[in-house]
Structure 1
């Protein structure tokens, strides 16, 4: 299996709006009336996520994703509403369409600290800032 780069910059060539980083966590996925536990996340951006697995789904379908983050003194459940944008044999690419402010700040933190190019990622946050404000009203 080829080694994946830890950081994939957004560009015109790959049609991505936001840079992606590897993200080694699991999530709960609600899709098509079913709940999937401990689904592995391959990569993450502030615009979406790739979840590994095989799902009976169609592009455009809406789903819910939950990340459970636990720390030494607290725990946090982050919820995202997403749209399926791509389906391949080993997973689905999801585009975030709704999330709370805590989830958005978590995404920014994870992408920024996991990136090999934090300056470019920070610029993406600034470019997306007006849209993020509209989404939380």
Structure 2
């Protein structure tokens, strides 16, 4: 999935789309996508000037955005968007720097009415850089 299709599946718009490509989607099971981390992004100016590192909160947001594509069915976006509702056991294992491809794999581990828990694993090359569990919420069912 490329940028135009990605926009259809997210409530976000530039500059807050944190996904460059969705590679795999298995409806209500898993998704995989990535973000190319660039020195040209605004966060790189101040986080940190001498050694820019992709901020942890943006790693979490990237994982949540990739995870939202679990709800795509045969390339059709879901009728409603999903929002980040909770963050659990997030671990930042290795720094992510400009020039890295931040690859995210997500797996649906539990779905209870409006709450959907996804396990997230992020890598750069063969290095594990972040893991955790996110809860996505369907606001239309609140």
TM-score by length of structure 2 reads 0.29
Greater per-residue strand proportion: 1
User: Which one scores higher on RCO, CA 8 angstroms, separation ≥ 6?
Assistant: 2
